[in-house]
Amino acid sequence: MSMNKWLWGGLGWALGGPIGAIMGYAIASMGESQRQHGQTRGGDLGAAMLVLFAAVMKADNQLRKTELEFVKRFFIENFGVQYTKERMNLLKKILKQDIDVKQICYQIKTHMDAPSKLQLIHILFGLSKADNEVHIDEINMIEQIATLIGVGASDFESIKAMFVPNTEAAYKILGVTNTVTDKDVKLAYRKMASKYHPDKVAHLGDDFSKVAEEKFKSINDAYQKIKKERGM
């Protein structure tokens, strides 16, 4: 199976539209020696992530080694070592293209389910913090992506607080302020725990469960911190 068939074989809605166009152009620009054989793995989320990784990495006009290492590690963990080289080669081609973020996000908003959108934003913040510092231009890009794909402001702030902590980070993770009642804190925790439960993204496969579990742990940790501070 050619790389072309491998890459497209696992795709549904991402096969067409602007995501498909960007990936198709990148593949066409590769030399024959880079079109390796392999089994189809991945799918629509992987294709969307590949393009949006590039958009976030280009946001501050700096390409960092730590970011490339994050992407490489992400592909190894989620798609296997065998195909990581091809995906990294494809990313390098995409980084050279102009990316119409609005069109890409419109395609994602139209076809991707809500839990997957939240997962996507969480992973993009992970990329941004690859060098232990979340850069403002990258935050702005991720916020733009979140808005365009239909992720609400409270959900965005909740995910952001997991990577950009401040004195009220625990409250932001739960989507509330420090002025709410203990009852409201409990209700907010139950709501967020349900929304971000790893089972919500089980359809993406076991490979993505690690990220989902980390996010779920952040919610539990935030709740425990607030309970301790308030003596609940």
Q: Where are the alpha helices (DSSP H) in 80-149?
A: 81-95, 101-111, 114-128, 136-149
Nearest in space to 203 (alpha carbons), one of 31, 44, 21, 7: 44
Domain edges within the chain: 3-164, 166-232
* pLDDT value of residue 167: 64
* pLDDT value of residue 206: 65
E strands within 143-205?
A: none
* pLDDT value of residue 32: 38
Please give the Cα distance from 145 to 121 (Å, whole number). Answer: 8
* pLDDT value of residue 19: 61
Query: CA torsion, points 9, 13, 16, 22, in degrees to nearest 10?
Result: -80
> CATH homologous superfamily for 166-232?
DnaJ domain (1.10.287.110)
pTM of the model: 0.66
pLDDT mean for each 10 residues of the chain (232 residues):
38 52 51 33 63 89 88 80 77 84 84 83 90 87 95 91 81 87 91 83 68 83 86 81
Chain centre distance of CA 164:
16
Please give the Cα distance from 201 to 123 (Å, whole number). Answer: 13
* pLDDT value of residue 77: 79
